[in-house]
């Protein structure tokens, strides 16, 4: 693994479209599957104002989380495996049945959701200075790098899933905080959007998929020695260390 920054694709191919970029992503996903990696589920990205503003991109995107990206709750993320990682707090959904767009709604998503859980996503764009356009980041599998899921599962109807207060702390200091409605009004809407985006490609969400709905908070840069933790009201906590 080289773990180095590269020039963004649109610097050389300015006409790369969103459609082309999803084709590149599809090839990348196929290569990883040929290497024996298994998909945990698709993820949504750039679903909150905080993230869209931070990255200067104005449209949600999707990518895929693979089994090799999983870090256990309380585990370690190794800096030497990564380029310039950042962390963001997200709510994950586990589906009890398949969901097929178009026309999928947040309410239908909730009815099909077995559990929700707290998560931390470590994103690590391969582009220089974490700067990219929409097609670039899509081609880079939406910067997916590592993910930590909290150990507590909660039934989605046991709480107001759009009013979950979230704090993201590093070394005991709160770096960002938000309410889950930041994610397209309700995190279930993010999953519905995903099902509708996949439908355009003739694909669907499957029972057992674990879906990241996108950063509730902005993303925060990581450094060796960091202890990261996020608290989600009613859902629990999740954390890891950086070595």
Binding site for ligand OOG (CB under 6 A): 45-47, 51, 55, 88, 90, 121, 123, 125, 137, 142-143, 214-215, 219
User: In 3D, which of 187, 171, 184 has the Cα closest to residue 232?
Assistant: 187
Q: Binding string to Mg ion for residues 108 to 137, with x set by CB under 5 A, is what?
A: -------------x----------------
Output the smallest distance, CB 147 to Mg ion, in A.
9
Nearer to ligand OOG, 59 or 160 (CB): 59
Output the smallest distance, CB 238 to Mg ion, in A.
14
Do residues 192 and 161 lie in contact, with contact meaning Cβ atoms separated by under 8 Å? no
Output the smallest distance, CB 172 to ligand OOG, in A.
24
* 162 part of the interface to Mg ion, by CB under 5 A: no
In this structure, the dihedral spanned by the alpha carbons of residues 14, 219, 54 and 193, taken in order and rounded to 10 degrees, is: 70
Phi, psi of 143 (to 5 degrees): 65, 10
Nearer to ligand OOG, 101 or 215 (CB): 215
Do residues 105 and 229 lie in contact, with contact meaning Cβ atoms separated by under 8 Å? no
User: In 3D, which of 114, 110, 103 has the Cα closest to residue 160?
Assistant: 110
Which positions lie near Mg ion, rule CB under 5 A?
A: 45, 121, 215
């Amino acid at each position: 693994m080289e773990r180095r920054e590269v020039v963004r694709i649109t610097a050389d191919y300015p006409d790369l479209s969103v459609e082309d970029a999803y084709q590149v992503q599809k090839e990348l996903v196929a290569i990883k599957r040929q290497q024996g990696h298994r998909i945990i589920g698709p993820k949504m990205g750039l679903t909150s104002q905080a993230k869209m503003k931070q990255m200067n991109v104005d449209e949600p995107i999707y990518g895929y989380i693979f089994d090799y990206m999983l870090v256990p709750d309380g585990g370690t993320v190794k800096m030497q495996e990564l380029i310039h990682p950042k962390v963001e707090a997200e709510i994950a959904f586990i589906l009890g049945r398949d969901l097929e767009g178009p026309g999928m709604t947040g309410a239908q998503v909730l009815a099909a959701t077995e559990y929700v859980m707290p998560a931390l996503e470590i994103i690590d764009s391969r582009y220089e200075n974490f700067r990219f356009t929409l097609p670039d980041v899509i081609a880079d599998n939406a910067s997916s790098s590592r993910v930590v899921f909290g150990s507590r599962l909660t039934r989605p109807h046991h709480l107001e899933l759009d009013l979950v207060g979230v704090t993201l702390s590093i070394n005991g200091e709160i770096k960002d905080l938000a309410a889950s409605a930041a994610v397209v009004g309700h995190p279930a809407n993010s999953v519905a959007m995903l099902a509708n985006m996949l439908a355009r490609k003739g694909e669907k969400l499957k029972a057992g998929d674990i879906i990241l709905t996108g950063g509730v908070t902005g993303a925060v840069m990581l450094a060796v020695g960091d202890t990261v933790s996020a608290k989600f009201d009613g859902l629990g906590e999740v954390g890891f260390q950086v070595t």
